[in-house]
Chain A
Amino acid sequence: MIPRSTYQRVLRLVGLLTVLVIIAFLVLPAAVVTIAAFNDKPILSFPPQTWSWRWFGRALAYEDFRQGFFNGLIVTAWSSTIALCVGGMFAFVIDRYKFPLKSAIEGILISPLVIPHFTVGLGFLILAAQVGLSRGFAVVVICHVILVLPFVLRSVYVSLRNLDQSYEYAAASLGAGPLRVLTTVTLPLLLPGLVSGWLFAAILSFNEFTASLFVTSQRTQTLPVAMYNYVREFADPSMAALSVMYIVGTAALIAFANAFLGLGKVLNIEQSH
């Protein structure tokens, strides 16, 4: 044990309490939503008088939610995969080479980080109309690719930076050509970075709301858009039930990612010792 003075112990206790209050603030909405989801009555009241599971059934059966969920899967699968390929390849060349317009292209692709999503959404809405593209999945996917690309680019770039290039030199010295080096050494070693980049992109894409609101139609609306429309029109706890499923699903995914990929490393917050 590290020796501590009384003063230090008091200070630690105060710090601990502060952190607990903040954590309470952080989990309060989730906790409240969970209670609300089990309320049997269709109107909000605390504490609920009677309990039931029925809103979960209602949420799962609600057509817009089902449709939104499957639309979301389609959009997410395409956009995060495309973003991984495009971003992965580009991260490779920006890590390795100097070429004309390098920083211009990089700057444009990174800029969605600071450009409000409603602006990006409006931009693709107008562009689609101008080039005569109907409001189908293509527009939504392209928009999502642009929005998640900065995250993929960063994730892969960081992995590439951390990749010791002597592995590739070693492979080349053993007679492997560029393509062979890429497929037998570079890609396998980058795999954790690629997986976390893809996962990150997929989660962001599945949850993207503001830009999607602009570029989706009734037919292509994703789950967050469907949820938003529901909240505007109805007040029953179906949405609370769906939120609970959402929270549980996401937390499970995060815990899984943490166990297998080391979230601390992915987010770059490991304490250096």
Chain B
Amino acid sequence: MNQQPFLRIFTAPATLCAIGFLAAMVAVLQYSLRAYVPGSLDPGGFTLANFADLLKPLYARVFLDTVVVCAMTAVVTLIVGYPLAYALVRVEQPVLRSILLVIVVTPLFLGEVVRTYAWIIVLGNNGFINSLLMSLGIIGKPLQLMFTPFGVVVALVHVTLPVMVIMLAAGLSHIDRDYSRAAESLGAGPIRVFLTVTLPLSLPGVVAGTTTAFAWTFSAFATPQLIGGGRVNMISNLVYQLGFSSFNFPFAATLCVAGLALTALVLGLLQLASRPLQKIEVH
């Protein structure tokens, strides 16, 4: 009896895709070990020199900046996202809920470029915030918001907020309301209920959201490129610059490999640190 109908035909296309993607990643790895031949698109022989170059202060600095920006973005997004996720889960009125949902989810699908452009208009020297503050007479000359780490983090928080809210809401929505009702019936006030029941039970969602926010920020390109304007550089900007300005694809590939290693390290540490939390099982 054929107990597994369709197994082969259904697995084949996915296997092909996996092989294709693996090949692309192997190509990056392979290039990272090749020498850069200035003026040529083709790489030279095998070498470890690219990885040695990573230790130069210039590049080490970019790595450090990237991690700091990612970490700040992830933490701020978590703090801003939690109340919104909580509201999204607890709002019972269907219309209000739908509106809230559309407001939260739409930015997720707007793409990085549109949102970054919007933040340029908000943060620019002639932008919304400066115009507002100046017309109110609070400041005399424009604040420098563009081309600063602050501006980059604000825009990145906006970019990662929807996905954080969705992951937190997913965690929160699967907590049975009866737990908090039980706590209330035992005499706990709203804040105590939140701190002793809801928050601990939502920790798996917190970990998932923070992890994703970190990974997304790491991947961001348009935001640091346009709002950082060369003064806040992340790995993504350096990779693009090396590839398309100087055609140094081998070193761009090296940065990618190092970036992957760094992401893996940070996410691994985050998982490890949150392991005691993961033991909290909802249901």
Q: Is the CB of A126 within 8 A of B110?
A: no
Q: Is the CB of A97 within 8 A of B4?
A: yes
A31-70, CB < 8 A from B: 32-33, 35-36, 43-47
Q: Which single member of B103, B112, B135, B256 contacts A27 (CB below 8 Å)?
A: B103
| Interchain nearest-CB distance for B199 vs A (Å) | 14
A118 CA / B174 CA spacing, docked (Å): 34
A214-273, CB < 8 A from B: 214, 224, 227-228, 231-232, 239-240, 243, 246-247, 250-251, 253-255, 258, 263-264, 267-273
Q: Which single member of B9, B121, B131 contacts A240 (CB below 8 Å)?
A: B121
B170 contacts chain A at the CB level, 8 A cutoff: yes
| Residue on B nearest A272 in the bound complex, by CB | B174
Interface of A, secondary structure class, is helix
Q: Is the CB of B110 within 8 A of A247?
A: yes
Question: Which A residues are CB-close (under 8 A) to B172?
Answer: 269
Q: Is the CB of A213 within 8 A of B118?
A: no
B51 contacts chain A at the CB level, 8 A cutoff: no
A171 contacts chain B at the CB level, 8 A cutoff: no
Q: Is the CB of B170 within 8 A of A269?
A: yes
A266 CA / B5 CA spacing, docked (Å): 28
Top 3 A-B residue pairs of the complex, sorted by shortest distance between their CB atoms: A29-B118, A207-B111, A123-B24
| Interchain nearest-CB distance for A115 vs B (Å) | 7
B201 contacts chain A at the CB level, 8 A cutoff: no
Could you list 23 A-B pairs, sorted by A, with CB under 8 Å?
A23-B103, A28-B128, A32-B121, A44-B126, A46-B131, A87-B14, A89-B6, A101-B15, A115-B260, A116-B259, A117-B221, A145-B17, A178-B5, A182-B6, A207-B111, A210-B236, A214-B243, A224-B112, A231-B113, A239-B117, A269-B170, A271-B177, A272-B176
Question: Which B residues are CB-close (under 8 A) to A210?
Answer: 112, 219-222, 236
B53-61, B84-92, B273-281 - the one binding chain A: B84-92
Q: Sort chain A's interface into a size bin.
A: 35 or more
B103-136 contact mask (Cβ, 8 Å, vs A): 1 or 0 = 1111101111111111111101011100110010
| Interchain nearest-CB distance for B224 vs A (Å) | 11
Q: Which single member of B15, B174, B239 contacts A122 (CB below 8 Å)?
A: B239
Question: Which A residues are CB-close (under 8 A) to B114?
Answer: 224, 227, 243, 246-247
Given contacts A29-B158, A119-B260, contact A127 B24 (CB under 8 A): yes
Question: Which A residues are CB-close (under 8 A) to B128?
Answer: 28, 32, 35, 46
Q: Is the CB of A29 within 8 A of B122?
A: yes
A19 contacts chain B at the CB level, 8 A cutoff: yes
| Interchain nearest-CB distance for A161 vs B (Å) | 15
A93 contacts chain B at the CB level, 8 A cutoff: yes
| Interchain nearest-CB distance for A103 vs B (Å) | 12
Q: Is the CB of A89 within 8 A of B18?
A: no
Known: A97-B7, A117-B221, A210-B236. 9 other contacts (CB 8 A): A23-B100, A32-B128, A122-B28, A206-B111, A208-B111, A210-B220, A210-B222, A231-B113, A246-B114
Q: Is the CB of B11 within 8 A of A99?
A: yes
A104 CA / B196 CA spacing, docked (Å): 40
Residues of B with Cβ closer than 8 Å to A? 2, 4-7, 9-11, 13-15, 17-18, 20-25, 27-28, 31, 41, 80, 83-84, 86-90, 97-98, 100-107, 109-122, 124, 126-128, 131-132, 135, 158, 161, 166, 169-170, 172-174, 176-177, 189-191, 215, 218-222, 226, 235-236, 239-240, 243, 249, 252-253, 256, 259-260, 263, 267
Q: Which single member of B6, B88, B117, B226 contacts A33 (CB below 8 Å)?
A: B117
A203 contacts chain B at the CB level, 8 A cutoff: yes
Question: Which B residues are CB-close (under 8 A) to A179?
Answer: 5
Q: Is the CB of A270 within 8 A of B219?
A: no
Question: Which A residues are CB-close (under 8 A) to B221?
Answer: 117-118, 209-210, 213
Given contacts A118-B236, A122-B239, A272-B174, contact A263 B110 (CB under 8 A): no
Question: Which B residues are CB-close (under 8 A) to A136?
Answer: none
Given contacts A18-B83, A207-B109, contact A44 B127 (CB under 8 A): yes
A1 contacts chain B at the CB level, 8 A cutoff: no
| Residue on B nearest A264 in the bound complex, by CB | B101
Q: Which single member of A45, A97, A119 contacts B28 (CB below 8 Å)?
A: A119
User: Which of A89, A108, A119, A253 counts the most B-chain CB atoms under 10 A from its CB?
Assistant: A119
| Interchain nearest-CB distance for B52 vs A (Å) | 21
Question: Which A residues are CB-close (under 8 A) to B220?
Answer: 210
| Interchain nearest-CB distance for B162 vs A (Å) | 8
| Interchain nearest-CB distance for A47 vs B (Å) | 7
A57 CA / B190 CA spacing, docked (Å): 53
Q: Is the CB of B158 within 8 A of A26?
A: yes
A247 CA / B103 CA spacing, docked (Å): 11
